[in-house]
Amino acid sequence: MTDPAPVNDFFTISSGYSQLWKSATLSGELRRWARHWPHRTAVVDPQERLTFAALDGAADRIAAGLARIGLRRGDRVVVQLPNRADFLRVWFGLQRLGAVPVHAMPAHRRDEIVHLAATSGASALVVADRQGSFDLREMADQVGRTLRERGLAPPTVIVAGKAGTPHRVSLADLDEELDHGPVPAPGPGRRLLPVEGPDPDDPDGPAPGDLALLLISGGTTGRPKLIPRSHTDYLLTAELGAAAADVGPDTVYLAVLPIGFNFTLACPGVLGTLASGGTVVLAPDPSPATAFALIETEGVTHTALTPALVPHWLAEAQTWPEALHSLRVVQVGGARLPDELARVAGPALGARIQQVYGMAEGLICYTALDDEPELIATTQGRPSCPEDDLLIVDPASGAPVPDGQAGELLVRGPYTLSAYYNGPVPDPAFTPDGYYRSGDLVRRLPTGHVVVVGRVKDQINRGGEKYAAIEIEDHLLDLPGIRAVAIVGIPDQDWGEAAVAVLVHDGPAPSVRALATHLRERGLAAYKAPQQVHSISRLPLTPVGKVDKQALRALLTSVPKGHHR
In the complex with ligand J2J, which residue's Cβ is closer, 209 or 333?
333
Closer residue to ligand J2J (CB): 89 or 455: 455
Least distance in angstroms from the C-beta of 439 to ligand J2J: 6
The verdict on whether omega for the bond into residue 426 sits within 30 degrees of 0, i.e. cis, is: yes
CB of 217 to ligand J2J, least distance (A): 6
- If one asks whether residue 451 binds ligand J2J (CB under 6 A), the answer comes out as no
> Nearest Cα to 259, choosing from 520, 38, 525, 45?
45
Min dist CB 140 to ligand J2J, Å, is 24
Nearer to ligand J2J, 32 or 343 (CB): 343
Q: Residues binding ligand J2J: what is the number (CB under 6 A)?
A: 22
CB of 437 to ligand J2J, least distance (A): 10
The residue within the footprint of ligand J2J, chosen from 359, 377, 460, 524 (CB under 6 A), is: 359
C-alpha distance from residue 307 to each of 290, 312, 348 (Å): 18, 10, 15
* Closest CB to ligand J2J among residues 105, 171: 105
457-473: buried (b, 16+ CB within 10 Å) or exposed (e) per residue? bbbbbbbbbbbbbbbbb
Q: Which is nearer to ligand J2J, 144 or 228 (CB)?
A: 228
Q: Cα dist. 2→5, 75, 95, 121, 122 in Å? A: 10, 8, 18, 10, 11
Of 140 and 305, the one with the shorter C-beta distance to ligand J2J is 305
Residues in 297-336 that interact with ligand J2J by CB under 6 A: 333-336
Is residue 482 involved in binding ligand J2J (CB under 6 A)? no
Please identify, using beta-carbon distances, which residue of 119 and 355 lies nearer to ligand J2J.
Answer: 355
Rounded distance, CA 558 to CA 552, Å?
10
Cβ proximity to ligand J2J, 122 vs 364, nearer residue: 364
Cα(67)–Cα(168) distance, integer angstroms: 16
Which residue's CB is nearer to ligand J2J, number 308 or number 360?
360
**371 forms part of the interface with ligand J2J (CB under 6 A):** no
Q: What is the DSSP secondary-structure string of 155-199?
A: PEEEEES---STTSEEHHHHTS-----SPPPP----B-SS----B
Nearer to ligand J2J, 52 or 91 (CB): 91
Question: Residue 75 — φ and ψ, nearest 5°?
Answer: -65, 145
Q: Which residue number is nearest to ligand J2J in terms of Cβ?
A: 358
Q: Does 354 bind ligand J2J (CB under 6 A)?
A: no
Distance in Å, CB of 257 to ligand J2J, minimum: 9
Closest distance between ligand J2J and the C-beta of residue 28, in Å? 23
Instruction: Decide if 536 contacts 548 (C-beta within 8 A).
Output: no
Any contact of residue 262 with ligand J2J (CB under 6 A)? yes
Count CA within 13 A, CB hemisphere, residue 363: 25
Q: How far apart are CA 515 and CA 84, in angstroms?
A: 33
Would you say 358 or 414 has its CB closer to ligand J2J?
Answer: 358
Is residue 380 at the binding interface for ligand J2J, with CB under 6 A as the rule?
yes
Nearer to ligand J2J, 381 or 523 (CB): 381
Round to whole Å and give the CA distance between 179 and 420: 39
Binding residue for ligand J2J, selected from 60, 86, 175, 440, defined by CB under 6 A: 440
Return the number of the residue (87 or 263) whose C-beta is nearest ligand J2J. 263
Is residue 101 within the footprint of ligand J2J (CB under 6 A)? no
Of residues 206 and 358, the one with the C-beta less far from ligand J2J: 358
b (16+ CB within 10 A) / e for 238-254: bbbbbebbbbeeebbbb
Interaction of residue 411 with ligand J2J, rule CB under 6 A: no
Residue 418 interacts with ligand J2J (CB under 6 A): yes or no: no
Cβ atoms of 328 and 351 within 8 Å: the answer is yes
Determine which residue in the list 452, 460, 485, 533 makes contact with ligand J2J, applying CB under 6 A.
452
Q: With contact defined as beta carbons under 8 Å apart, do 207 and 191 qualify?
A: yes
Smallest separation, CB 356 to ligand J2J (Å): 4
Q: Is 450 in the site for ligand J2J (CB under 6 A)?
A: no
- Report in angstroms how near the CB of residue 464 gets to ligand J2J at its nearest: 6
Interface with ligand J2J includes 156 (CB under 6 A)?
A: no
φ/ψ of residue 342, rounded to 5: -65, -35
**Separation of alpha carbons 307 and 314, rounded Å:** 11
Rounded Cα distance, 174 and 68, in Å: 8
Pick from 91, 263, 420, 436 the residue near ligand J2J by CB under 6 A.
263
Q: For every residue of 66-105, which 3-state class applies, written as one string?
A: HHHCCCCCCCEEEEECCCCHHHHHHHHHHHHHCCEEEECC
Task: Say how far apart CA 131 and CA 146 lie, in whole Å.
Answer: 21
- With CB under 6 A as the contact rule, which of the stretches 18-26, 358-366, 515-523, 540-548 interacts with ligand J2J? 358-366
Other Cβ atoms within 10 Å of 508 Cβ, number: 8
Burial of 57 from C-beta contacts in 10 A (0-12 / 13-18 / 19+): middle
Q: Is 421 in the site for ligand J2J (CB under 6 A)?
A: no
Please identify, among the stretches 123-131, 294-302, 354-362, 479-487, the one whose residues bind ligand J2J according to the rule CB under 6 A. 354-362
**What single DSSP character describes residue 232?**
H
Amino acid at 294: L
Of the candidate spans 115-123, 352-360, 389-397, 556-564, the one that interacts with ligand J2J by CB under 6 A turns out to be 352-360
Tell me the backbone φ, ψ of residue 476, rounded to 5 degrees: -75, -30
Interaction between residue 363 and ligand J2J (CB under 6 A) = no
In the window 215-254, what residues touch ligand J2J (CB under 6 A)? 218
Q: What is the DSSP letter of 547?
A: B
What residues make contact with ligand J2J under the rule CB under 6 A? Answer: 218, 262-263, 267, 333-336, 355-360, 364, 380, 438, 440, 452, 455, 461, 466
